[in-house]
Structure formats: C-alpha cells, structure tokens
Structure 1
Amino acid sequence: MGKIMLEVNNLKTKYVTRFNESVYAVDGVSLKLEEGKSIGIAGESGCGKSTLALSLMGYYFAPLHYMEGSIIVDGKNISEMTPDQVRKTVLGTEISYIPQAAMNALNPTQKIINFIEDVIHAHDPKMPKNMIYDLARERFEVLNLPKEVLQKHAVELSGGMKQRTVIAISTILSPKVLIADEPSSALDVTSQKMVIKMMRDLMVKGFIKSMIFITHELPLLYNVTDDIMVMYAGQIVEKGTAKEMVFDPLHPYSKGLMGSIIVPEAGTRDVKLTAIPGTPPNLKKPPAGCRFAERCKYAQPACKVQSIEEMHMDDGRMYRCILNQNQLKEVENHG
C-alpha cells in the first residue's frame, strides 16, 4: 500500500433546515485514498455525493453541520480544526475542491490572472505579481492551455475552456487531494474528453497527488478512476475496482445502477437496460434497516429492521448487504 493522502473514518454530517429539522446526508462514510490513486463516487441524484464532497474538506458552514468522524489529510486531522484554520492552512494546498458548475462562478469583469493572484495571495500575501504570472504561465502551458488565456475575461472563453481554466486555478498550489464534483457535466463530448485528459495530466505530472471524482456518468468513472464507490441515501453501499464495479457489481443497488447505463465495451451489446423502481428514502428519518430495502427485489423481512454493516472481503472489496457474496450471486442467477 502506498502513502495515504486522505483517510476518512465514520464521517457523519447533516443539514439543519430553517424548521430545525435534521437531514442526515452523510452517514458513516469511511475511505482511504493512496498517493497516485483516484476514487470515483457514483449514485443517483440526491444520494449525498455533493454533500460528501463538501464534507471531506472539513470546512463547515450552515446549513451543513459536522457530527462526528475524522478526516485526515497526509497525516493531519483537519476535522478538529476551526473553519478559519481550514481556510488558511488546508484549502488550496492540502485539499482543493471543484464544485458543480464552477465555470459559471468566474467573475466576468475580472481577468483570469486576477483570480490566480487572489488564490495565491490568500496563502502567500507577499508573492510579487510577476512571480505569480510566471508560475501561472508555466502551469497553463504544461496543461496545454494557451498563456493568452491569463489576460482574458471569463466571457471570452468557451464552456470547455472555462472549465479547464477553473481546474487549473483550483490546482495552482498543487494540492495533495483534488475533489472534483461533476467536472465534465454540461459539456459537449469533445470538451469532456479535454477535461478528462487534463485531470489525468494533473496526476501524471504530479501537480496533484490523488483525486476523488464525483459524477453520475458511470462510463466516465470506468475510464478515469482506479476504484469506484457507490453511494445510496448517505451511505457507501459498495466499493471495488473500476472494472469490478462496472462489470461485476455485488450490491443490488449497484447492479441496478450499472444496469441502467450503456457501457461501450465488448460483451454488452445485447444487454438490456433496466430501471430501478421507487425512490430513495427520506433522510430526515432514515430507515432502521437497509436503506435500499423498499426498492430491492431481493429484500427479506430482516432487511427492513436489522442494521446492515459493511462486509469487507480479503481483496479489499466492500459491500453493505445482509446477504453474503455467494448468496448475492445465487439470487442474481435465479433472478
């Protein structure tokens, strides 16, 4: 095992509504991310992916609240820090976050170089502007972004170019962990490919040490990440290698999720697409048992009342189900 860049243990966070109701959006998530590795997080809308991304930064502000658990970045426990400490010593250098639709957050009246100056001056107020420009120019050129972009305004850039520029700005301080939430959504296929290539280059060239890639577009995860975690109703229900998760998922929800997409690989031509019936549970009052039980065709009476723990296999694979691996294979074969 390589050096651990990010270790998360039993992380629980919640939203508190204006009616003082709690929504348990991240419930007991644990993961380890090694240097040089990437993890993809998949799941349908509302399962908690984006909330998990926010929670992993250790930077909490209403309505999101930390409950318990630890977030350790390169040996440093950031879950014990104040928001001000996290902002000054963690964000940008230890962890960088690219939110959904980040390209729309660029101020149209500022030049791109001004954004970079703001990011760097937040950590090093004394760095001269000419040094910042040289650093930005070199980084942009290495990432195949024209240096001329630095002197442009956001409105002068296409959607794909804006997204790649945002990624370059977000990683200008070479963070150890990059969390990217739907970085290629709302882009055409060509722009998506360029964004994915850029993120691979960031890893290969050592500008980032590790990556968490969140998307609902599962074929992207197969081509980008080493491992995939499937999230449902605030919990991780399965984790495995990208190949295992796409071609041999164990958990009934993972099977349904993978069966609802087209994977452009040999052997999938005649596979029929399926839909998962029902809707996710209300996380204001999570079910006592398996959160997928109401939608699972293999559910047993015990599934709805018994707390379902994570099952860890010798090869590092994990799933959360009352059935063991052989039973899952058997019920699937008897369909």
Structure 2
Amino acid sequence: MAILKVRDLKIYYSTPFGHVKAVDGVTFDIKEGEVFGIAGESGCGKSTLVHSLILRKPPMVHMGGEAIFKGKDLMKLSEEEARKIRYTELSIIPQYAMNALNPTKKIKDTVWDLARDHGYTDRNEVEKLLRERLAMVKLSPKVADMYPVELSGGMRQRATMVVSTLLNPDLLIADEVTSALDVTTQRVVIELLHHFMEEGIVKSIIFVTHDLALLDKIADRFMVMYAGKMVEIGPTEDVIKSPAHPYTRMLIDSLPRLGVHYKRQKLHSIPGYPISLLNPPKGCRFYTRCPYVMDHCKEEEPPLVKVGEEHYAACHLLGGENQ
C-alpha cells in the first residue's frame, strides 16, 4: 500500500530571469513500511522535492502535478491544513539538523511549543515522553534541560531526530542528515532511523543523500535524480548491482572501494558540469555529459523503460516504450 503517490510533480523557483525548473515532472510512490531513497549530486532537485512536500515558501512555486499523501493532495493544502499534519503525520529532519534547534530555548521548551501547537495540554506528560525518547537515542534525560549550544554536534543531531519524531509521524523525511557527520556518527544515525521504524515511531522514511553507499545500507528502493528529472528507480540491490542509466553507473563508479589502492585503480569522475535549470536543453538532460550520447538524445526526452522487477530507467539506449 502506497502512503505517498507523486505524479508528474513540477516545483520551480521564481526568479527575475524566469523559472528555475528544479523538479520537472517527477513520478514515484512510497510504500508503507519502506525506506525510500533519493540520490543525486548537488543541485539535482532532491532537497527541493522533499521540502515541497512539507513546506513551500517563495520563491518556490508549484507548477503542476500532485502529491497524494493519505488521500490528500499536499499541493492543495492550505497553510493551516499543512500545519496540522506537519510533525504529526509528515515530518522532516532538516539538512542542517545540527543547527536546526532554537539556540535560545532549552530542548524541553522547543518540544513543548511544538506539542502545544498540536493540541497537547499536559506539559509533564510531554516532557516525560521527551526524556523516554532521549534515552532511546542514548542521550541523558538531562539533555531536556539543556540548550543546543551545550551539546556536541552528534548530540544535537540525535536531539533534533527526537524532536522531529516525537509526535510519531507516518512519513519521516531525512534530508542529508549524515552529510556533516563522521563515519561513526553516520552509523549511529542510520541505526536510529532503523530503530524508529522497528518501534513503530514512524511508518515510512524518505532518505535523501548524495552517497549511494549509505543508500545501500538503509534503503529498500531508491530513485536517482539528475537536473530535476528522475533517471532511474528500483529496488536498491538491483540498482546498485545492475544500474541501467549511464548517470547511475557513473555515480557508482565514482565511489571509492574498500581495499583498492588509488595507485592501482583511479576513481572515475563524471565529466562536465550540471546544466542550468533556468533554461534546460531539449531531450535528455544528461546528454551534455553522457559518453553514449546519440543524435536523438538531444531532441527527444527518453521514456521510462522497465528493465527489471520494479526497476525502471529513462534512457534512449534501453529502447522500448513507456511502461
């Protein structure tokens, strides 16, 4: 059963020079009980996509498509309707989670403001739940009485995760939550996300990252984005072992491999630079960097082709019709 259905979603940024097409016709589903990954290099639209689901602010503009979450189109909710489901049904751990907490408030005050805003009236009960959740992420209950500045980076990260999940959201968005962390802390964060699922605190997770190695550890399925478009989607093991799109293959080839010395095998980089989304070219948006480019790649947008069980990619090399 899908908890979220996104269809042909278009999210642009309004500028004096025109619209930046950050998310331009993306379609996917997220199943209840799964961790769904979104991958791609910086500027591909992955963070814009997930932020548009929870809080759209100018210059972000919804230009088309829908995002059906539990029967409601998130693109059509009023601000009051969106506020009611934010943190209770749909929540986010922001990209800069270590700096997301209000530095002038103790953790317990931030949590009480959030809980009160969603109808909670018993502060003692809320603080009891907060201390239980802090213990769950291996933080002392005393952290509730501390200011963010008194916590280390890793502690702030875990405290932010507690705040974002305190009201048991059905769908949790984790936006680049490991990007500023050392490897040991990254592992702790991944384990905590798994724990939240196992304990029923959250039902599904969207995990956004540029690191495919992390997706291999946490995601059931994932989608690869490039220049505002989805280029590949499928079960994690299938996409990692048998990538169908040239961009996905090049992303995987750029990863360092354990036990392989750089003098024996150089890392492969992706040539060129990402295109401007203010005026993207016709056809496949990856053709300016693709080693397999053909003439019709420059004129026709490639269809999404089925290459395996629940595995699809958009590339003219694959042939076929839309499926």
Q: Provide the residue aligned with 2:9 in structure 1.
A: 11
Q: Which runs of 5+ in 2 are unaligned?
A: none
CA deviation profile, 1:218-276 (whole Å, cap 9, x unmatched): 2111101111211100011001222222222110000111110124499xx97652111
Which residue identity lines up with residue 54 of structure 1 in the other structure?
H
For the residues of structure 1 that align with 2:308 and 2:43, how far apart are their CA atoms? 31
Q: Provide the residue aligned with 2:101 in structure 1.
A: 106
Q: Provide the residue aligned with 1:75 in structure 2.
A: 71
TM-score w.r.t. the length of structure 2 is 0.93
Report the aligned-residue RMSD: 2.0
The answer as to whether partners of 1:9 and 1:69 remain within 8 angstroms in 2 is yes
For the residues of structure 2 that align with 1:309 and 1:241, how far apart are their CA atoms? 19
Which residue identity lines up with residue 35 of structure 2 in the other structure?
S
For the residues of structure 2 that align with 1:301 and 1:222, how far apart are their CA atoms? 34
Which of 302, 309, 313 does residue 315 from structure 1 map onto?
309
The answer as to whether partners of 2:235 and 2:310 remain within 8 angstroms in 1 is no
For the residues of structure 2 that align with 1:114 and 1:271, how far apart are their CA atoms? 53
Aligned residue pair count: 319
The answer as to whether partners of 2:305 and 2:319 remain within 8 angstroms in 1 is no
For the residues of structure 2 that align with 1:37 and 1:16, how far apart are their CA atoms? 34
Q: Which runs of 5+ in 1 are unaligned?
A: 327-335
SS in 1 for 2:225: strand
Q: How does 1:86-125 map to 2 (within 5 A)?
A: 86-87=82-83, 89-124=84-119
Which residue identity lines up with residue 96 of structure 1 in the other structure?
S
SS in 2 for 1:187: coil
For the residues of structure 1 that align with 2:17 and 2:268, how far apart are their CA atoms? 38
SS in 1 for 2:201: coil
SS in 1 for 2:162: helix
Corresponding position: 1:295 with 2:289: yes
Corresponding position: 1:229 with 2:223: yes
For the residues of structure 2 that align with 1:224 and 1:248, how far apart are their CA atoms? 18
Q: Provide the residue aligned with 2:50 in structure 1.
A: 53
For the residues of structure 1 that align with 2:73 and 2:185, how far apart are their CA atoms? 37
> What is the identity percentage for the equivalent residue pairs of Structure 1 and Structure 2?
42
Which of 154, 167, 181 does residue 148 from structure 2 map onto?
154
CA deviation profile, 1:258-310 (whole Å, cap 9, x unmatched): 110124499xx976521111111111111110000111111100000012221
Does 93-102 or 153-162 show the bigger shift?
93-102
TM-score w.r.t. the length of structure 1 is 0.90
For the residues of structure 1 that align with 2:89 and 2:8, how far apart are their CA atoms? 21
Corresponding position: 1:253 with 2:247: yes
For the residues of structure 2 that align with 1:204 and 1:242, how far apart are their CA atoms? 20
Which residue identity lines up with residue 160 of structure 1 in the other structure?
G
The answer as to whether partners of 1:233 and 1:283 remain within 8 angstroms in 2 is yes
Cα offset, 1:107, TM superposition: 2.2
The answer as to whether partners of 1:60 and 1:83 remain within 8 angstroms in 2 is no
For the residues of structure 2 that align with 1:83 and 1:318, how far apart are their CA atoms? 35
SS in 1 for 2:215: helix
Corresponding position: 1:30 with 2:27: yes
Which residue identity lines up with residue 111 of structure 1 in the other structure?
K
For the residues of structure 1 that align with 2:38 and 2:319, how far apart are their CA atoms? 22
For the residues of structure 2 that align with 1:232 and 1:294, how far apart are their CA atoms? 12
Cα offset, 1:108, TM superposition: 2.2
The answer as to whether partners of 1:219 and 1:263 remain within 8 angstroms in 2 is no
Which residue identity lines up with residue 179 of structure 2 in the other structure?
S
For the residues of structure 2 that align with 1:113 and 1:31, how far apart are their CA atoms? 37
Q: How does 1:138-153 map to 2 (within 5 A)?
A: 138-153=132-147
Corresponding position: 1:137 with 2:131: yes
